[in-house]
Amino acid sequence: MDKKEDVPLILICDDTPKNIQVLGTILMEKGYHVTVAEDGTDCLKMLETVKPDLILLDIMMPTMDGYETCGKIKEDPDKRDIPIIFLSAKNEIDDIVKGLSLGAVDFVSKPFNSIELLQRVRTQLEVKRSKDTILKQKAILSTLIDNLEEGFFIFDKKGTIQEGYSKSVETFIGKNPGEEKVEDFIPLSESDRDLFKKWYQKVWNSKLQIKDLMPLAPKGFKRGKSFYGLSFTPIFQEIKETRKKTIIQMICTIKDKTEQRKLEEIAENEKSYVSMMLSVLQDPFSFLDFIEDQSELIQSCLEDLREKNEKWKAEDTDEKEMLNYFNHLFRQIHTLKAEALKYSLNEIKKLCIESENIIFRVREEAKNPKQEDILKIIEFLQKISGSFSKSFFSIQSFLDLINNSEDKKSSKRIEIQEVYQYFKNKIKEEKTVISDFERDYFHRDINYFFEGHDQMLKNMAIDLNKEIEIKIYPTNKTFNMKTYSHFFSTLIHILRNALDHGIEEKVYRKEVGKNGVGLIEVRCKDGDDKGEGEKGLVLIISDDGAGINLEKLKLKLVDNGVVSDQEIDKFTNDEVLQKIFMPGFSTKKEISHISGMGVGLDSVMHEVSKLGGKIRVDSTLGKGTTFRIDIPFLKEKA
């Protein structure tokens, strides 16, 4: 009590002047400030202008006794935190209990011992001083937190959000935490929500070190046009017996990263543009051929959809016809997305994903599709067409610049195309010249068709917390690009599905005793003779991932109405497994940037059938999946 402003003020409320005099003398001798009220009414009036640090309150007073006075003080939010010590000759246990139940902090019987009284006063003032310090620090901390750019809240192992969160949380998420679990509070997609729940449960229950699991946490979420980043910090407690630290709670920090995300997207677009240029320079002929073919395809799809939409608006919609059409359109877009990835055409890839999402929704509502969804598909197809044109002119201008330079090497494929067209138009009778030219410039080995995709898949694996090795075994066979290019393009679906659905996360693979690096293999070998001039060819694509869950597959077949509960029990496991080639079939609920819905296998079967071949799949849960493709192969002529 060195500073005057630090000296506590004590209010004595007693109707006996002698008691006031004795109490006041004792307290002032110890350096306390004292003020006096003669009864309960006077006490309440005084509290309107003065806020003491402690009240010594007599019980037996006229007009308003100490019990009633205490009750009214505790009802006032501005005064209820003032500690009250009752002073009374009534020292029965019931009197003490009643006083404490009304909110008093202590009870001193009359006549009192001055040493005991002073100790009780000192104790309650220290308690109040500590509480005031804590409340002040809490207010400062709350103000500081509320003015931070980040929002934060805390949750426990059950996903229960604790009291005490920053105001920014409501700004970022659009609501305050209620009784819902943390995975339901953060606006994640359905699939990300399930993964997040599994993640934090694993953090508390896994034998793995927490630092190894932290990178697997969700990175953020979109809300409207904004993107918010998420980070998680564990709170540990040391167990005295073992001196080991155990996690008790988790802090979730939210930060608006919209501008940062925009800058990252600009950087990513620039990186993609450079990657696209490098891909084009390796084979400009194939790229421009791809642009031309796909532009025509998208334009054809646009015209066809507009025509059909007018028909659907004028007539009753044939559900089966519409379903078949959108299955076909989905297959076209899905294959286009795979090719766009090969050339790092990110804008087209994103537009394809948006189109796939809407097409998938339309297929689910084929009985009564929304006109706005169909118009949205048309809008995205127009954007894809425009993006193709932009890419074509961008690359063509770049190639023109290259062609005008001294180094003509990069335009070799365009010159070859011109020579080939010349041969074909002017020297039709020279069959061997054309066939030799085709063999030398239009036949490629198997590596050619997968070139670029292997590195792309490895980069995607990093985003999924996975690591993969892709082995494409060499063969002495070469394939005519004009005959087999579409077939090999669709095979990328199998590789992407293997990465997205088959290969497990690196941490999990190690947990179950597998090599942390997943393996995808592509082999090509001779098959059976198919007849004069033809020989069979077998392609094997395998992975050592999680395999296909047959029970989940059966449930999805029943849910989709493909078979009934009774029929599914009659199917062999192999018959169930081969159903994954059905148009539009998927066990996923959302489209991902890696493999979409997991469909695309019907595209593979479609291309295999066009070549007159067959495809089947074999899978062992926990071991991996193998696709075997048998196709005819035209025998090379000398």
What are the tens digits of pLDDT across the range 393-418? Answer: 666 555 555 454 444 444 444 454 55
pLDDT tens digits, one per residue of 350-366: 888 888 888 887 877 76
Residue 142, pLDDT > 70, answer no
Q: Which range has the top average pLDDT, 84-98, 219-233, 438-452? A: 219-233
Q: What is the mean pLDDT of the chain?
A: 81
pLDDT tier at 372 (50, 70, 90 boundaries)? Answer: confident
Matching fold, domains 151-256 and 442-634: no
What is the arithmetic mean of pLDDT over 161-187?
87
Q: Reduce the DSSP state of residue 462 to 3 states and report it.
A: helix
Instruction: For the domain made up of 4-144, give the CATH fold.
Output: Rossmann fold (3.40.50)
- pLDDT for res 407: 43
Residue 466, pLDDT > 70, answer yes
Q: Which of 1.20.59.10, 3.90.1170.40, 3.30.565.10, 3.90.1640.30 is the CATH number of 442-634?
A: 3.30.565.10
Of 389-403, 417-431, 435-449, 483-497, the range with the lowest mean pLDDT is 417-431
Residue 341, pLDDT > 50, answer yes
Residue 290, pLDDT > 90, answer no
CA distances from 120 to 115, 127, 134, 189 (A): 9, 11, 21, 59
Query: Is the domain covering 270-405 a CATH 3.30.565.10 domain?
Result: no
Residue 589, pLDDT > 60, answer no
Instruction: For the domain made up of 151-256, give the CATH fold.
Output: Beta-Lactamase (3.30.450)
Q: Reduce the DSSP state of residue 85 to 3 states and report it.
A: strand
φ and ψ at residue 107, rounded to 5 degrees: -145, 120
The residue among 605, 432, 637 whose CA lies nearest residue 532 is 637
- pLDDT for res 615: 93
CA 212 to chain centre: 18
Q: Which position has the higher pLDDT, 564 or 68?
A: 68
Q: Using an 8 Å Cβ cutoff, are 439 and 410 in contact? A: no
pLDDT tens digits, one per residue of 2-40: 444 578 999 999 988 888 899 999 999 999 999 999 899
What is the arithmetic mean of pLDDT over 190-202?
85
Q: For the chain, which residues make up each domain, given as ranges?
A: 4-144, 151-256, 270-405, 442-634
What is the arithmetic mean of pLDDT over 158-185?
88
Q: Using an 8 Å Cβ cutoff, are 364 and 329 in contact? A: no
Rg (CA), the chain: 39
What is the arithmetic mean of pLDDT over 71-94?
88
pLDDT tier at 591 (50, 70, 90 boundaries)? Answer: very low
- pLDDT for res 514: 92
